[in-house]
Structure 1
Amino acid sequence: MDNEGSADILYYSAIQQMRIKREWLVPTNAPLVGFEGTRVYTLDVVTLPITVDDHPQHITKDVTFLVIDYSSAYNAILGCLTLNSWKVVTSTYHLMIKFPTKYKVGEVRGDQVVARECYIAMLEMDDHLQTMSIEEQRTIAEPVEGLEKVLLDDSRLERTTKISTLASLPVRQALNAFLKENQDVFTWSHEDMPRIDPSIIVHKLNVSPSFSPIYQKKRVFTQEQDKAIEDEVHKLQEAKFIREVYYPDWLANVMMVKKAKGK
């Protein structure tokens, strides 16, 4: 059950195990985006009747699945559009869904052990696919053209951009002149973007004035975490994105989040 994705997906391995006839499948080439950031092209589309729960508290609906040939620990994924049409209420904590039927409310419970096994299997697949993706990028991500640095403002050496060297010299000279004449469209810092309504970029806490702020107990971080926090704060201060203020009766600790690369 996927409460965020809109697509109903049936994996090709499940199609083979179900022995679905080939004439039931309708060819298509629509891409799906979201599988580790890559595009996965669907093989076919198939419409199957799906029955949830047992009689009498059950529902039977036709669902059109996108069939994809992709490694997964799951057989199928039901998207939010289908779940909404069934008026399904999901509880990930209880591994259970409930839905209205003609005979009161039906429910389906999951298996904690099976869910854990699928989760671990998907993590192992993600690690393997990310490793393959990195290796592929190392082999094919070669520059297809050279780049030439262009100085837009002779009085400010940091204001540069790059253009392709594949163009002829007259074309590059004309492009250089055009970029210098229109350098006002470039920005190197937020100070180069005046007259922008602050409401677009200013974040505020949606806190009711009737509630008193909560003073969190100051957390103790490791030496490595302290260094990372200090470096990030200095970056934001140098960019003038944040400034130092004092709240004697309010404190919110820094939340450390590890990135995918381990930083």
Structure 2
Amino acid sequence: MRSNPRSDLGRRREQEPERKKTSPPAMGLIKMISGGSTDGDFNRARKSRSRRDCMEVEGMRRNEAVIGFGPEDLKGINLPHNDALVIQDRVANYDILRVFVDSSSSVNVIFKDAFTQMDLQGYHLEAIETALFGFAGHVVYPEGEIVLPLTLGSQDLKKTVMTPFTVVDSPSSYNIILGRPAMNELRAVASTYHQKIKFPVGARVGEVRGDQPSSRKCYMEAVQADQSKTKREGKRARVDEVGGRVVEKGEVHFVAEEEQEVVEVGPGQQIRVARDLHPSTRELTGISPLISEHQLNILPGSHPVKQKKRHFGPEKDKVIDEHIRDLLNAGHIREVQFPT
């Protein structure tokens, strides 16, 4: 008896598990390092790399160790934490501190400050054309690329691979960033929670423990550098015109009394201004309140804030009293009595 192909197809569909709905694709990664010559600058280099990867997979040893993490890997870790994985490794026979393990980076990066301290005679720095993206949100053009020996582990549980490093002239708290190329060459697995990298060494597993104090120090340095940069950029953006010249706002200017003159601003009201004050600024002193007046918009029903009296010591109190007396005599402030 022949079976009906359509009924067999329907039966197989009923026996198949329900397919999971695919989630929408991610919009992208923020501030990750991408680009570079991971697969070569040109198509020929990419094809060569692809063939080499296929040969490595086919020739992989079947007795390679299985890597895992457990509670014993948390010994000596300060918990809870959100620390990045920062380790020490050996590159071209140099012990390098502050090595940031970043699996989202498409390249291994060695920063120029660290690169110039290494005597790398016998290694060739090759020019590359591909830019990098992700360094503080802007594009960086590398100094070049160099293939160096990278060693992880110690004693008999260590592993050395030849891997490319992209030399970047950019400020950083780190000396090196280990990206996917190095991690894949080592067949390594990183756990930021366990603060460890593990990698197969034959049938055994080698490991490198992260340096939490160094990780936190690098983080603080990066935050402070970003804050300083923001302040510098903000200060450059805030400019004003004084005496016909452009100056930064917040800059304090002292004008000698002989360089000042008295200006009438109202009936019986005078102020002193600099003689070389720009005309556009000088006109502001004579604007009538009917045209323009500054007010403080206070919500109805708001009450004054009452603070406890503070004592600064006899010497400071004397200086404060003198400043208050000067302001009172100049008419800039007046005493107000509150009922409470």
- Smaller-chain TM-score range? 0.3 to 0.5
Which has the bigger relative contact order, CA under 8 A and spacing at least 6? 2
Provide TM-score, normalisation by structure 2.
0.37
Provide TM-score, normalisation by structure 1.
0.48
Which has the larger Rg?
2
